[in-house]
Structure 1
């Protein structure tokens, strides 16, 4: 009887353990099952693409230069004793920039002036002899040979005076050269020399470069095909006439902003660069506030004709391996990455010539949270409303 009770107790304990294990296992399975549930689809804005009238802008990489970039070089040798202006300063024509020690040249000037005084004294003495002999020759007291000799001495004295005057002028010029002044208005570049440096007119390196930038030149190049397109696009019998037909162009700066002033394409070189296979153009931009400097880079944007093209906001695209892509929405609201063929830009939009067709649905924003094949909940918006808020 005792054995039977013990067996019943053990059976009860074992049954309880099985029940507890089953309960804990069920809880674990429930947590695991809940943890593996997929998140709900994202709700993202989607628009349908359609053609719109847009101007196709052609852009060319450009480098900027001042209308005049002048190397400032010394005309005499000597030590720099003063640098009047700092690098980057705006200076006016005639304003002093550098001072070279003038002691040697001032001494040469003083010596030249003394020689001039001596030459003038010799000329005066020779003139006295001529004046003295002239009446004596007329009276037959002395021969005319003596008068001719005296006249020759006077002529030599006059030549000596002229030579001395030239030496004085040369010495004065050299003294003037010791003050190096600005030949034009403009901005100073880097100054590689310091006070006490020995400088000379045969130095390979200039004292500085002075850039006149009230206007700037933007140089860009066209390939042979682009040049032929340019000639076919604009009316005119000559290249000069075609240049006059190009509308005002824009300058896109290195940070992507557009320079406030428009420019004019003025000249094109006479021949192609055989190495690069391109021909350079020059655009002139006003620069009244001096915001542009020599050495800047940017892109010259030439507006093209209006045409009907598919447009996609740039914020609806992303780049991968030098390709521009967008997410399109297909069946079952699944998204797919699609590469785009971009033919140009207009405002904040890409002009798309391939990769999309009229009516295709494109995800507007939230691309950083998407993967190829993901399912979304489309929130349809109108492309026209986007174009109205941010025109082409």
Structure 2
């Protein structure tokens, strides 16, 4: 990603300057416009600010969202106490346990010390401080209530992290059960079945069909396990490449899945509604807020439809008009947003929508987990039961012959 130095107008009289990261000059201009700025000059920088090393740039990948949320909360408390921003950044950098975040904060502090705006200094690290964060901070800087914006960003980050954490936690136990089941089946096919196979061969008796199938399967795995592993790796790689090149279709398919699709849609609507609520509450125009909030979505199909809503707004229409054409937004959400637009309380309505969907997402995750766990146990039990029956049938037959 390239770095661009810019000068832009913020309001009728104020001119701001700074550096931001973008894929191209046009993308940089779009990003500035999305932040509510009027670009005057945008030029690509040949080096990072202060000769930022490649290693420091890679640090952005090692900063956790929870660490950033904590940073914003601590930052808000110190700024509210009247501590200068340079001193605040020094304090937070020194006490940060995350070395990557510490390096970034030290560099941001240096930029602020040189006279760059705080928001544009953070914008150099788009993988850590999102466009949503930057827009909120700029709104706080312009209104003189930076600490309020910082608290809201911290709350938003923590809520999003909590929702993601619930989903990850819900998947841990099913993943453990599945892993144990796979290891057990592999052990049975790779070690136990070959032992019984030799025993049955020595007996020289006819074996039931399922036993012969299991023995052939075990022998095939033993003979070609390397090719199976290579084939699996190649298959996973090809599937991953295909999904990357067809992200929108894949994300559309995910939304259409009966249970998983509902959870994904609810979590996306909750995240988007919360981001839009906070941006509007910070007096950012609806069109700019929509553009800034789009990156918080992970689903490309949903993102495409919301981009179409942006075009409706550009033509003077209502957000609810664009959402009404969407395949994914439920009618009651569209109606609720329409009420907010007509009453002038859109930010409050979006907050209510976010609250409702956050609660519903948590509830559905819990229900899905309660269904997945017994289903996996039953599936693994059936597979192991099949293996045990296939092994014991010849033994029972032999006992019958002896009797």
- Compare relative contact order (CA 8 Å, sep 6+) and give the higher one, 1 or 2: 1
Q: Higher strand fraction: Structure 1 or Structure 2? A: 1
Q: Higher helix fraction: Structure 1 or Structure 2? A: 2
TM-score band w.r.t. shorter chain: under 0.3
Pair member with larger Rg: 1
Give the TM-score taking structure 2 as reference length.
0.20
